[in-house]
Amino acid sequence: MTERWEMVVGLEVHCELATATKLLCGCRNAFGDEPNTNVCPVCLGLPGSLPVLNRQAVDLAMRVGLALRCSVVPSIFHRKNYFYPDMPKDYQVSQYDEPLNVGGWLELPDGSRVGVTRAHMEEDTGKTTHVGGGGGRIHGADHSLVDYNRAGVPLVEIVSEPDIRSPDQAKAYVNELRAILVAIGASDARMEEGSLRVDANISMRPVGTSAYGTRAEIKNMNSVRSLGRALEYEARRQVGLLDTGEAVVQETRHWDEDEGRTSSMRSKEEAYDYRYFPEPDLVPLAPSEEWLAGVGAALPALPADRRLALAGVAGVAVTEPSVATVVSQGLDELVSAAVGAGADGRLALNRAANELAHKQAPDAAPFAKVLLMEGEGRLTATQAKAVLAELVAAGGDPEDIARRKGFEAMGGDVVAAAVDAAIAAHPAEWERFAGGEAKLAGFFVGKVMAATAGKADGKAVTALLRERVGR
Amino acid sequence: MTSAGDIARAVRAGARSALDVVEEHLAAVTRDDGELHAFNLVLGEEARAAAEEVDRRVSAGEDPGPLAGVPVALKDNLCTRGVPTTCSSRILDGWRPPYDATVVGRLRDAGAVVVGKTNMDEFAMGSSTENSAFGPTRNPRDPSRVPGGSSGGSAAAVAAGFAPLALGSDTGGSIRQPAALCGVVGVKPTYGLVSRYGLVAFASSLDQIGPFAASVADAALLLETIAGHDPADSTSLPRPAPALGDVLDEGVDGLRIGVLRELVDGADADVAGRVTEAAAALEAAGAKVGEASVPSTSLGLSAYYLIATAEASSNLARYDGVRYGLRVDGDDVNAMYGATRAAGFGAEVKRRIMLGTYALSAGYYDAYYGQAQRVRTLIIRELEAVYSSYDALLAPTTPTTAFELGAKTDDPLAMYLSDVCTVPSNLAGHPAVSVPYGKGDDGLPVGVQVMAPALAEATMFRAAAALERSLS
């Protein structure tokens, strides 16, 4: 498949902004509250009510734009008209041909760039639960329950250029976008709570050509993993059609996570005519230079910049996977501090990426101390990891932890004695090892470890074994 | 008939009881509204309670406000907390707003007493108040005639003496046209001067709430009360209410008044004659009068009926049976939408929703909605050009006097033509006032319209007051 066909993907990411209140009224913007408690005449679309734009939402939307290297420009709101029970006004206030943020890009950890066409503001809909029949879809349901708490929650829709060429790159794009949104405080960006939602436009074209094929839009992917699975499935499906001379139909398709496949939702002909027109109840949005400059000045360092800085501190290539892990875990300051205290950069990076990810980070000073002890050979790698685990779990001084665990430095003569004892106890195995059966090294290391209660350094043991063979 | 100003002065001074005032007006309603049907709902009990509260405050030495004890009638598209607000439509059956419109709150704060909700063309779509789900309103000057519309109930309520003041809404002439036909004063303020919060929308970029009164001074008093910035309406202008009471006696000496040729030429001869007389009266009072031309006013009506219907098609989408008002069940949600809207909306509303939906459709947007917006811009430019030579314009409010009930109900286009003189001000967002000025050949009232540039309400009221004085 990948030899003859190239995947072309663009993503539309909806992100709920972490404002205190909704986009067009003063109701609380909160996930998980009792249904229909965060509502008022405005977000229920009651006759006579009028919208007022939330300044904080604009502020956060501009942050998103700046973080995605977009131009922030004067914009207007439109109405997108269609009937749906969870949309109280039966139109959505959105931005159409004059969005707030245009023309940016996103740099992925592997160094590739994905263009960002636009990042525009709009209001979220309510949430409908279809009861009975239909497997949770509206068709065939007995009745539906609507929760309007989410109606009017501010969203930014981030539309990428069709620059993505693989499921892995699509996943990396979403992960990077999430990292940025969280870093700038724009959103908690949780796909499982629906505060980040991803739709994908995918088409295939013969490798080496530049024209786009007919695309399908895939909806209902609830995790980064399902995004990857859906793209893989859809690529196979489209290639299957193209290889047999059939045409891909332009349509919207629904991803079924359990079945692991996409199915047609509606064709281009059935697509809604949204009858967009300028929203007459809102005035044009033209943030002042001062406002924009203030937002820019308050923007924290972005993940891509932090990765670059961290790679420099650690003395590794920026594309090294542990760099991205440490930054995404917010451990880059810890690593930098440890390096500043004299720890080895690569060691600090690897220990942070492998031992501290998804855990409560320790203080910088004890973390650095563990690394220094390891660097000086006072702790083996295994021991250092054990000390770090204890440090994370209960805190304390690394020296004390090592002492309590009996990790006092083990003299070279003691290790050598243990190695010689192991050789003497297993002459047959030693013959084979000496005869070139290298994998038996592990056998002897294991014996030495057992004899020293794990305190010996594996590397030192292996070196001694080689030394003995050579003699 | 006592003026609103006189009532408020007397009530504030303790010389008259607000309750007595309300009882007098309610008695008139009881006597005459069976025939006229100005009201959809008379709020007798609530009005008496509000009046008693005003009286209590006066006797406690407090000042209930500039409209103390003055009965006010509200068009039934203005939200009133806990009180049905129907827009004269079946689709809002049973709905009671949980809030007061901003203007209603301001009236209550000023001591006014709300006496009822007035009949209107359904969702303000019409020019005769015959498009009401609850039956037509009749013109108090001649009950065989329509009161105009869409705020026909409010105009009739003032003309019949049911209330000295009323509020209406004006999207394409819906205050000024019925004011003219009923012989009262009606004002369409500058767009954004009066908050639209709580006005059930017809066409958001054109809608504006405004006063009806028997005199220019009373209209000014009411406008002063309801105008001024409201943070709940994003299109509300960030400025205080204009002081209008002080300018009424300033006269028109030196004001440059243009008579708008295209609109005078299109009016019946008797109506055109009253406009000419009005111009002469202003000239006699010291104004410099000339002839003005805004050629694209002839395109205004077409542009208006595209923009207004386009916005309406979106504004009225929410009446879908899901959350409030009428619901007619169907097999699925789309069938429910269809059944509800088929049963809930009248013919004219359906006609305009279809027109507006069409005008916004893919492939037609630019030819209809887009083109209408360009005409709108053109009219604004031409008016701006004219206002470099004139401070205000004079025109008929309507081409004819009040027509008979049923005369135009079968011919929507003929009905739409009733708005030809009034839509330019809505398209431009400019203020305009209709002042009663004599009678037509049929003995029915004629309204003369004073139009002014945005926020020139003071100039407009000076001219209106001068016209009124010239008749006395």
Q: What is the pLDDT of residues B192-244, one digit of tens each?
A: 999 999 999 999 999 999 999 999 999 999 999 999 999 999 999 999 999 99
B316 and B445 belong to one structural domain: no
Interface probe for B, chosen from A281, A282, A283, A285 (most Cβ of B below 10 Å), is A281
Give the chain A residue nearest B237 (alpha carbons).
A283
CATH number assigned to the domain comprising residue B260:
3.90.1300.10
Contact B204 A51 (CB under 8 A): no
- Do A208 and A111 have their domain in common? yes
- How far apart CA B196 and CA B190 sit, in angstroms, is 12
* Cβ–Cβ gap B201/A48 under 8 Å: yes
Q: How far apart are CA B472 and CA B366, in angstroms?
A: 51
Are residues B294 and B325 located together in one domain of the fold?
Answer: no
Task: Note whether A245 and A139 are same-domain residues.
Answer: yes
- Name the pLDDT band for A408 (thresholds 50, 70, 90): low
Question: Is the separation of the CB atoms in A87 and A44 below 8 Å?
Answer: no
Based on the fold, state whether residues A333 and A283 are members of the same structural domain: no
Q: What percent of chain A shows pLDDT beyond 90?
A: 72
Contact A237, A2 (CB under 8 A): no
Mutate: best of A80, A275, A285, partner B, most B CBs <10 A: A275
3-state secondary structure of B401: coil
CB of A351 within 8 A of CB of A379? no
Confidence (pLDDT) at A135:
60
Q: Is A283 on the interface with B (CB under 8 A)?
A: yes
Nearest chain B CA: its distance from A59 CA (Å): 18
State the average pLDDT for chain A: 92
Are B62 and B47 found together in one domain?
Answer: yes
Integer Cα distance of A328 and A337 in angstroms: 17
| Residue among B54, B148, B162 nearest B115 (CA) | B162
- Compare B181 and A456 and report the one with higher pLDDT: B181
Residues B277, B346, single domain; the answer is no
Same domain, A261 and A143: yes
Last residue of a domain, one of A396, A431, A462: A396
Instruction: Tell how many helices (H) and how many strands (E) occur in chain A.
Output: 15, 14
Nearest-CA distance from B357 to chain A in Å? 8
Q: Reply yes or no on whether the pLDDT at A141 is more than 90.
A: no
pLDDT of residue A469: 83
Q: Which of B366, B392, B408 is the last residue of a domain?
A: B366
Q: Has residue A38 got a pLDDT over 80?
A: yes
Per-position DSSP letters for B45-88, written without gaps between them? HHHHHHHHHHHHHHHTT----TTTT-EEEEETTB-BTTB---TT
Does one domain contain both B240 and B344? no
Rounded to a whole number of angstroms, the distance from the CA of B132 to the nearest CA of chain A is 18
Tokens found for residue A65:
């734009």
The model's pLDDT over A279-332, given as tens digits with 9 standing for 90+, comes to 999 999 999 999 999 999 999 999 999 999 999 999 999 989 899 899 988 899
Report pLDDT for A448: 87
Q: Is the pLDDT of residue A138 over 70?
A: no
Of A50, A79, A138, the CB nearest to B232: A50
Residue of A nearest to B369 (CA): A277
Question: What is the H or E stretch that residue A463 is in?
Answer: helix A458-470
Q: How many domains would you assign to chain A?
A: 3
Chain A stretch 303-322, residues whose beta carbon is closer than 8 A to a beta carbon of chain B: none
Quickly state the pLDDT bin for A131 (edges 50, 70, 90).
Answer: confident
pLDDT band at A416 (very low <50, low <70, confident <90, very high): confident
Taking the Cβ of residue A275 and every Cβ of chain B, the question of whether any pair is shorter than 8 Å is answered with: yes
Residue A426 one-letter amino acid = H
A45 inside 8 A of chain B by CB? yes
Residues B180, B275: one domain? no
Instruction: Print the domain residue range for B133.
Output: 4-247
Residue A7 has what pLDDT?
97
* Confidence at residue A414, expressed as pLDDT on a 0 to 100 scale: 77
pLDDT score for A344: 93
Beta bridge partners of A80: A92
A218 and A236 both lie in a single domain: yes
Domain end point (choices A297, A320, A350): A297
Query: Do B317 and B387 belong to one domain?
Result: no
Q: What is the pLDDT of residue B48?
A: 98
Residue of chain B whose alpha carbon sits nearest to that of A142? B332
Nearest CB to A89: which of B232, B311, B317?
B317
Where a domain ends, among B226, B247, B268?
A: B247
Tell me what pLDDT residue B390 has.
98
Confidence band of A470 (pLDDT split at 50, 70, 90): confident
Query: Is the pLDDT confidence value at A409 over 90?
Result: no
- The parent domain of residue A319 ranges over 303-396
The amino acid present at A222, given as its one-letter code, is N
Q: Do A47 and B234 touch (CB under 8 A)?
A: no
What radius of gyration do chain B's Cα atoms show? Answer: 21
- Amino acid identity at B296: S
| Ordered alpha helix ranges (H), B191-286 | 216-226, 261-265, 269-284
* pLDDT tens per residue across span A86-128: 999 999 999 999 999 999 999 998 889 999 999 999 999 999 9
- Does the beta-carbon distance from B317 to A49 stay under 8 Å? no
Q: Does A208 touch chain B (CB under 8 A)?
A: no
- Residue A388 and residue A320 share a domain: yes
Q: Which of A242, A266, A297 represents a domain boundary (last residue)?
A: A297
Cross-chain Cβ contact A280/B205 below 8 Å: yes
More confident residue, A467 or B196: B196
Search chain B and give the residue with CA nearest A83.
B317
**CB-CB neighbors (< 8 A) of B79 in chain A:** 47-48
- Residues B219, B99, single domain; the answer is yes
Looking at the fold, whether B32 and B162 belong to one and the same domain comes out as yes
Give residue for tokens 């209408």. Answer: B372
pLDDT at A2: 56
Looking at the fold, whether B266 and B292 belong to one and the same domain comes out as: yes
Say what the pLDDT of residue B383 is: 97
Answer yes or no: do A370 and A455 share one domain. no
Contact B204 A280 (CB under 8 A): yes
- CA of B197, closest CA in chain A: separation in Å? 6
Helix (H) or strand (E) holding B211: strand B209-213
Residue A468 pLDDT: 85
Distance CA(B375)–CA(B71), nearest Å, equals 41
A52 touches chain B (CB under 8 A): yes
Active site residues of B: 75, 150, 174
Number of domains in chain B: 3
Residues A160 and A199 in one domain: yes
Residue B321: both structure tokens together? 């049976």
Q: Which residues of chain B have pLDDT under 50?
A: none
Contacts of B198 in chain A (CB under 8 A): 48-49
Cβ separation of A45 and B333 shorter than 8 Å? no
Per CB-CB distance under 8 Å, the chain B contacts of A43 are none
Would you call A91 an interface residue with chain B, using a CB distance cutoff of 8 Å?
yes
Mutation pick from B233, B314, B376 vs chain A, by most beta carbons of A within 10 Å, is B314
Is B446 within 8 Å of B378 (Cβ atoms)? Answer: no
Yes or no, beta carbons of A47 and B322 under 8 Å apart: no
Is the pLDDT at A1 greater than 70? The verdict is no
A221 and A314 in a single domain? The answer is no
Which token pair is A423? 């050789």
Taking CB atoms and an 8 Å cutoff, what residues of chain A touch B333?
85, 138, 144
- Shared-domain flag, residues A293 and A307: no
List, in order, residues 6 or more apart from A57 with CB less than 8 Å away: A17, A19, A23, A121, A154
| A314 and A283 inside one domain | no
Inter-chain contact A48–B200, Cβ cutoff 8 Å? Answer: yes
Report chain A residues whose CB lies below 8 A from the CB of B85: 47-48
CA distance A218 to chain B (A): 24
| Residue B308 and residue B408 in one domain | no
Of A47-56, A217-226, A367-376, where does mean pLDDT reach its minimum?
A367-376
A223 and A329 share one domain: no
Alpha carbon distance B209, B224 (integer Å): 13
Per DSSP, the residues of B155-169 read HHHHHTTS-SEEEEE
Q: Are residues B184 and B220 in the same domain?
A: yes
All residues of chain B having their beta carbon less than 8 Å from the beta carbon of residue A83 are: 317, 320, 334, 337
Domain boundary among B214, B247, B280: B247
What confidence score (pLDDT) does residue A134 get? 59
CATH number at residue A443: 1.10.10
Looking at chain A, the whole-number percentage of residues with pLDDT higher than 70 is: 97
Q: Is A272 on the interface with B (CB under 8 A)?
A: no
For tokens 């972005």, the residue is A302
- Give per-residue pLDDT as tens, A178-204: 999 999 999 999 988 889 999 999 999
Q: Which of A49, A58, A131 would best serve as a mutation to test chain B binding (most B beta carbons within 10 A)? A: A49
